[in-house]
Amino acid sequence: ADEAQPLLSPLYYLEKALAPFAQIRTARPGVVDPVQALLAEQPNIMGLADVGLAPGETFDAVSRFVEEGGTLVRFAGPRLANADDGLLPVRLRRNGRVLGGAMSWEEPKALAEFDATSPFFGLPASKDVTVQRQVLAEPDPGLADKTWARLSDGTPLVTAERRGKGLIVLFHVNADANWSNLPISGLFVEMLKRISAMAGESAPSSSERSGMVADPSAFAPMRLLDGFGALGAPGLSAQSIPPGFEGPASAEHPPGLYGSGEAFVAVQTLRPTDEISAFDFAGAGLSADVLRAGGQLDLRGPLLVFALAAFIADALIVLALAGKLRLRPLGAATAALFCLLCATAMTTGETRGESAPKSAATQRDKDAALTARLAYVISGDAHVDEISRLGLEALTQALNARTSFAPGDPVGVDPAKDELAFYPLLYWPIVASAPQPPAKTVAKVTAYMKQGGTIIFDTRDALSQRVGGAPSPEAQWLRDLTKGLDIPPLEVTPRDHVITKTFYLLDGFVGRYANGETWVEALPPEPKDQAARPVRATDSVSAIVITSNDLASAWAHDKRGQPLFPLTPGGARQREFALRGGINLVMYTLTGNYKSDQVHVRDLLERLGQ
């Protein structure tokens, strides 16, 4: 989640919707695998907002969670729309559809009434809730039985499927307000409350499967009493009460308020006819006694005496240092003892400091934390790694000379061993002969990208690529790697993307070759009711950039500043534009989409002038 801009985070809307009736757990910042970290807390419901689950340890852990009775609630998004994921109730079409966009004749769709077989039956299908973008489901047999909510045109909005003892629920829109205003509506809260009420229920038998419907007349937990008698959010183990429930409270129905709004029912701990009797300790061999509270200890006298003694000692020390007080032998002995005690205390403090556990951070990590640096991924090929080092050194020199950013010397990193969080930008040259990184390393790279890092994957195969032909060995290696990465949909860098204007105005990114394409995170569709903007950007920095133009070879030069490799088609102009493209990539990584906001400066200045 983006803590600086919470309204841009889908988790913000989920937490607000679930807070009235559920205890929420979120992953700690910096966790390599937040999904497995949350599963370790044994939740009843796991919510994933636009998170793809590639085959691996995390996928297997979530599968076990569902099979053993957990409820998995997923929300669509750019990543999920292009993922090949098996933990979904239905098969999805690639990319989805956009309603009301510049390239669409269709208007945003409203909700249809909920079917009688849907757990949402009885909730009002507000016409104010509209959908501008959704992920479509393949029209497979049984799709209607898995659909809990649909749009006015009949396309599914919420689908679900029992898997083992658990349940998988998919919202075909994102959890924020980018695709639909459902997450900011009151209906969203009620839908999640119905799903929470079903969490932990066992899978129905074949005879009961057709009647898998939440009772709309039941009262869901609203505010429950804890062990201290305070009203709070209900736990996940609390279940709804049927109409006419008379109590008393139990583990399934804790005491508190059930229902919603003003139509709620109070469940008491005891019945009106119950009597409270004194507990009999005689059978346990114990005797009853009056509860006595501990008395107060008055320390005013000792503290005043200590303060007075400290004042006298301070005055004597000052007089002794000024030579106005002669210490007798006893006084000298006392002073020596005092100095000895002070020295002992200092020695003990130093010993404790020395015995403190050393930090696991290496000296290079400390240097990288103090001085920003560019980094390249060590490929295992000494020649390629040397080109990467020389190329990033040349780019670092250009950044120092042309911009206010003064990075330190670039370093090579091993994603399996080194900490990546200290480096805002990683240059990763693809070597087809290198082995694929293990699953833990891939998870570490995914966490780095989700936490704000940007990786430039350079396949360096622009001359060997063929349109419509088989992928090159480098491109195939990268495809195999990205199967385990949770990445958004990509597109060839458009000319109006903010990455082409962060420092220099560019049409594209060239390197040793100029015929390759550069891919970045796809921009959202431009609304047709807004004027065209000269610069467009996403809400965050693209975590991945893919090119085939061999950038480092175009940047690299020797100690005399002479280029090391010829360019294709060649020329000093191409080398200069390659260097400018590298500067733009670095500035984009550091500054994000601020350049796209500059288009509002004129309007802001006019408003301030008024």
Evaluate whether residue 295 is within a structural domain: no
Evaluate whether residue 309 is within a structural domain: no
Q: 156 and 254: one domain?
A: no
Evaluate whether residue 279 is within a structural domain: no
Closest by CA position to 239, among listed 262, 214, 206: 214
Q: 167 and 266: one domain?
A: no
Q: 223 and 207: one domain?
A: no
* Domains in the chain, number: 3
Q: 493 and 551: one domain?
A: yes
Q: 191 and 224: one domain?
A: no
Evaluate whether residue 462 is within a structural domain: yes
Q: Would you say residue 66 has pLDDT above 60?
A: yes
DSSP letters of 539-567? SS--SEEEE-S-HHHHH-B-TTS-BSS--
- Rounded Cα gap, residues 556 and 383, in angstroms: 13
CATH of the domain at 170: 3.40.50.880
| Residue 224: domain span | 219-229+247-272
Tens digits of residue pLDDT in 228-241: 888 877 776 788 88
Peptide bond into 534 cis (omega under 30): no
Q: 423 and 550: one domain?
A: yes
* Joined tokens for residue 523: 């921009």
List of residues 6+ apart from 294 with CB closer than 8 A:
none
Q: 75 and 155: one domain?
A: yes
CATH of the domain at 431: 3.40.50.12140
Q: 112 and 68: one domain?
A: yes
Evaluate whether residue 353 is within a structural domain: no
Q: 252 and 187: one domain?
A: no
Q: Is the pTM of this model over 0.85?
A: no
Q: 172 and 224: one domain?
A: no
Are the beta carbons of 375 and 364 closer than 8 angstroms? no
Helices 57-67 and 439-450 meet at what angle, rounded to 10? 90
Average pLDDT (337-360) is 44
Task: Give the pLDDT band (50/70/90) at residue 302.
Answer: confident
pLDDT attached to residue 607: 66
- Rounded Cα gap, residues 85 and 45, in angstroms: 19
Evaluate whether residue 326 is within a structural domain: no
Q: Is the dihedral of CA 277, 278, 282, 284 positive or negative?
A: positive
Residue 4 or 310, more confident: 310
Q: Would you say residue 578 has pLDDT above 60?
A: yes
Q: Checking DSSP bridges between strand 256-260 and strand 166-171, what pairing results, if any?
A: unpaired
Q: 518 and 449: one domain?
A: yes
pLDDT attached to residue 213: 44
- Rounded Cα gap, residues 396 and 187, in angstroms: 53
Evaluate whether residue 14 is within a structural domain: yes
Evaluate whether residue 351 is within a structural domain: no
Q: Would you say residue 206 has pLDDT above 50?
A: no
- Rounded Cα gap, residues 89 and 338, in angstroms: 76
Q: What is the mean pLDDT of the chain?
A: 81
Q: 502 and 537: one domain?
A: yes
- Rounded Cα gap, residues 386 and 37, in angstroms: 38
